Amino acid sequence: MKRRQGQRRSLSMPRIVWPLIALALLLLFNLFFTDGFFHIEVRDGRLYGSLIDIIDRAAPVILVSMGMTLVIATAGIDLSVGAVMAIAGALAAGLIARPEYSVLSNFDIGGSFAVALLIALLISALAGAGNGTLVTVFGVQPIVATLILMVAGRGIAQLLTSGQIVTFRHESFAYLGNGFFLGLPVTITIVVAMLLMIGLLVRRTALGLFIEAVGDNPTASRHAGVRPHFIRLFVYSLCGLLAGLAGLIAAADIQAADANNAGLYIELDAILAVVIGGTALTGGRFSLLGSVIGALLIQSITTTILSRGVPVQYTLVVKAAVVIAVCLLQSERFRLLIMHQLRRDGS
Amino acid sequence: MIAGWLQRYATLATTALVCLLLYIVAGSLYAGFFSPRVFVGFFADNAFLGIVAVGMTFVILSGGIDLSVGAMIGCSSIVIATLVEQAGWHPLAAVLLMLLLGALFGASMGSLIHFFTLPPFIVTLAGMFFARGMGFVVHEESIAIRHEFYPALNDLPATLASWLHLPDGGVQFVGRYLPLTAVIFLLVLAVGIYLAHWTRFGRNTYAIGGDEDSAVLMGLPVGRTKVQAYALNGFCSALAGAVYTLYTFSGNPTAGTMLELDAIAAVVIGGTLLTGGAGYVAGTLLGVLIFGIIQTAIIFDGTLSSWWTRIAIGFLVMVFILLQRLFQRTLGSARRRPS
């Protein structure tokens, strides 16, 4: 992707302001027009309500978009996250349920959830590392390198499940998707924990700076002593790992691994969340929190549409309109055009 | 220059070789694979994929990408079916309207991409949401098309042949081996090759994909060409939707799910660089043929499951990408581009 003029920042507001405004407007709209949107109920010491629901539902996209943010910050992209989710879900479900039609029935891990979790996450990270190797060692463009796994990955997941939907009954596994921790869905805890960990990792060490340097100018960063190959390999592996975790949550949520539909189109939602959050697709500066807000915004739109009784088929159309609106707001050219118009009208 | 020439034709030749090898291997493994009917099937059964891939080649050559094509097929097919079956339109009028809308849709995405310097990936992603959503808004479920014009349309090649006073054998041959969907695909392919290599639009597309800044400095109409490329692709995907209705005699808002992926894969296997500027429309034909051969071989085999298609295609894409890198490195002709 080429560097464009949009990099210059004329309005000196932090980029995170735009998605925040959009989210605030949407919530304000719901406050006035959707009954009970802000209603939170305590039942059996657990919190229920639309707002909680939004975060719970958005958890997989948030996790994936965090990894995606770092990958995009290195001027890369990862299209394979949905496929990795499917693989992780298929692996864990297959190892635990061990249906006789699946190749995974040959592996006995004694029904241990921890082992299944570890294997699934390890394979996901390895899949990400594979993407990273193609990008760094072989110098393949990220969009192509990850396209390979995007095309093949769902096939591999179907191979693991023999094309069937593997259902399982396992308490600790299901807890990952529907459990409650401190009165809140456990997914929220996972998201917050990952956000804290990754946030500390990139902002309290030099790693974040290195990532931005690699994304901004790999040659210059190499001369400055950063190892772009190593940084890239790391972010792709981390992205794979997070996608795997999201895949496990998605599988736990429905207590089944559906190789066809798990994480379908999530790469698009995640990239969208990253872009809405103010990280440029050309790499360089990134905002983890922005991506989280972007993901929440996307989920809020969906929930708003559903709870307002708008026919479901309009969801996609509204989403398209929001995407274009947010992108236009971030486009330098569009802002100049609008300001020009305003000035002309004013004089 | 010679190195560049070698590099380009080397990838094209490799693709052709792989295509031929696959055909021969599949043909020797499965009885009846070499029959002309199967060969025609490669074109007829993948006509919508092929048409979309030709349009996609132009967008990728110009340095962009278009994710909306699969959704556009669904949208186009269901709009045509609804207009014909529920609004009483003549199929030709419905198809013409949809082709116009498709081109307009592509042009507006191209305009957003060029005039507001938005990333093509995001704009066409929004386009995908929009087209898929509109398809569902128009009609939620698939509609069968029972208009009497459709069978007549499907027999068009044979009708034309008898009209041209071909001998009876010729008419039969055309009727059996030249289904309309395949004919449309071949026509689109021919037009695509002509546009890419013999028109100013084609040359501008290559120039912009090669280096947009240089193209601007050379005074080429960068904006117009980009918008044209996306409009062409929008037109192609709407046409593919029309071909889908011809192929299945129905419209379906979910048609073409994930097809954008297959189209991009076919273009890449065909040797077009995803960074733009280098590639051949003819290569895309080979990519689509490889797709068709693998799919048909898996059907012939019967014991292999359909997901092997995806794994095989993914593997082939990887092999071709690595080959391209190898050619570029050993010949040292390619400039290193930042992703």
Contact B339 A5 (CB under 8 A): no
Domain count, chain B: 1
CB B67 to CB A140 under 8 A? no
Interatomic CA distance for residues B313 and B306, integer angstroms: 12
Asked if residue A36 has pLDDT above 70, the reply is: yes
CB contact under 8 A, A138 and B261: no
Half-sphere exposure at residue A297, Cβ-oriented, CA atoms within 13 angstroms: 32
Nearest CA in chain B to A338: B116
CATH, residue A201: 1.10.3470
B112 neighbourhood in chain A, CB within 8 Å: 324, 328
* Residue B3, both tokens: 């190195």
Most confident of A5-9, A198-202, B145-149: A198-202
In a domain, B58, yes or no: yes
* Concatenated DSSP letters of B151-198: HHHHTHHHHHHHHTT--HHHHHHHHHH--HHHHHHHHHHHHHHHHHHH
Average pLDDT, stretch A129-148? 88
**B293 part of a folded domain:** yes
Q: What is the mean pLDDT of residues A13-29?
A: 80
Whether A149 and B314 lie within 8 Å, measured CB to CB: yes
Structure tokens at A167: 């259902």
CB contact under 8 A, A141 and B275: yes
Contacts of A335 (CB under 8 A, 6+ apart): A10, A11, A329
Lowest mean pLDDT among A17-31, A80-94, A303-317: A303-317
Whether A27 shows a pLDDT value over 90: the answer reads no
Tokens of A23: 């989210």
Return the closest-CA partner of residue A316 out of A292, A293, A294, A298: A298
Of the partner residues B129, B212, B339, the one whose CB lies closest to the CB of residue A142: B339
| Tokens read off for B5 | 């020439």
Kind plus residue range of the DSSP H or E element containing B46? none
Range of the domain at A92: 5-346
Q: Does A34 have pLDDT greater than 70?
A: yes
Chain-chain contact of B129 with A319 (C-beta, under 8 angstroms): yes
Coil/strand/helix, residue A181: strand
A201-225 residue pLDDT tens:
998 988 888 898 888 888 888 888 8
What is the distance of C-alpha B116 from the center of its chain?
A: 27
Q: What number is the average pLDDT over the span A313-337?
A: 81
Which tokens sit at B202?
Answer: 């084609």
Chain B residues near residue A324 by CB distance under 8 angstroms: 112, 123, 126
Please tell me which residue of chain A has the smallest CA distance to B267: A144
Task: Report whether pLDDT(A3) > 70.
Answer: no
A144, A272, A282, A328: best mutation site toward chain B, by most B Cβ within 10 Å? A144
- Calculated CA dihedral for residues A261, A265, A266, A267, nearest 10 degrees: 130
Q: Between B116, B274, B338, which is nearest A144 by CB?
A: B274
Chain B environment of A319 (Cβ under 8 Å): 126, 129, 133
Which CA distances in Å does B291 have to A286, B12, B16, B127? Answer: 39, 16, 13, 26
Nearest CB to B274; choose among A143, A154, A328: A143
**Is there a contact between B136 and A6 if contact means CB atoms under 8 Å apart?**
no
β strands within chain B, DSSP E? 143-144, 250-251
A154/A82 Cα distance (integer angstroms)? 8
Q: Say how many CB pairs under 8 Å bridge A and B.
A: 149
Backbone phi and psi for residue A184, each to the nearest 5 degrees, phi listed first = -115, 155
Closest by Cβ to B133, choosing from A139, A320, A334: A320
pLDDT at residue B1, as a whole number: 56
Quote the pLDDT of residue B338. 44
Q: With an 8 Å Cβ cutoff, are A147 and B264 in contact?
A: yes
The verdict on residue B23 lying in a domain is yes
CB contact under 8 A, B126 and A155: no
Whether B145 contacts B129, CB under 8 Å = no
Q: In this predicted structure, what is the pLDDT of residue B194?
A: 96
Residue A285 vs residues A16, A200, B52, B58, B143: alpha-carbon distances, Å: 12, 16, 36, 32, 48
Residue B84 covered by a domain: yes
Question: How far apart are the CA of A47 and the nearest CA of chain B, in angstroms?
Answer: 33
Q: How far is B149 from chain A (nearest CA, A)?
A: 31
Range of the domain at B241: 2-331
**Chain-chain contact of A163 with B133 (C-beta, under 8 angstroms):** no
Number of domains chain A is built from: 1
pTM: 0.84
CB-CB under 8 Å, B134 with A317: yes
Cα torsion through A7, A11, A14, A17, rounded to 10: -110
Contact flag B310-A149 (C-beta cutoff 8 Å): no
10-residue averages of pLDDT along chain B (339 residues): 65 85 91 87 90 96 93 95 92 95 97 90 89 91 88 81 76 78 93 94 93 90 95 96 92 88 89 83 92 88 78 84 72 46
Indicate yes or no: CB of A218 within 8 angstroms of CB of B308. no
Closest chain B CA to residue A267: B125
Among A2, A142, A159, whose Cβ lies nearest the Cβ of B212?
A: A2
Query: Is there a contact between B314 and A151 if contact means CB atoms under 8 Å apart?
Result: yes
Beta partners for A47?
Answer: A42
In a domain, B19, yes or no: yes
Residue A108: pLDDT above 80? Answer: no
Within a domain: B272: yes
Q: Which residues does chain B have within 8 Å of residue A281's beta carbon, measured at their own beta carbons?
A: 119, 121-122
Better-predicted residue by pLDDT, B234 or A164: B234
Asked if residue B59 is part of any domain, the answer here is yes
Q: Do B127 and A320 touch (CB under 8 A)?
A: yes
Task: Give the strand pairing for A166-167 and A256-257.
Answer: antiparallel
A45/chain B closest Cα distance in angstroms: 39
Closest CA of chain B from A316, distance in Å: 5
Question: For A319, which residue in chain B has the nearest alpha carbon?
Answer: B129
With CA atoms as reference, the chain A residue closest to B311 would be A152
Taking residues A83-106, report their average pLDDT.
86
Determine contact, residues B272/B61, Cβ cutoff 8 Å.
yes
pLDDT (0 to 100) of residue A326: 76
Do B117 and A333 lie within an 8 Å CB cutoff? yes
Angle between helices A113-136 and A142-161 (to 10 degrees): 150
Question: What CATH number did the domain enclosing B167 receive?
Answer: 1.10.3470
Nearest CA in chain B to A318: B130
Mutate to test the interface with A, among B268, B310, B335 (most CBs of A within 10 A): B310
Measured N-to-C along each axis, helices A50-73 and A81-97 cross at an angle, to the nearest 10 degrees, of 120
Report the relative pairing of strands A40-43 and A46-49 from DSSP bridges. antiparallel
Residue B338 lies in a domain: no
**CA–CA separation, B45 vs B65, rounded Å?**
24
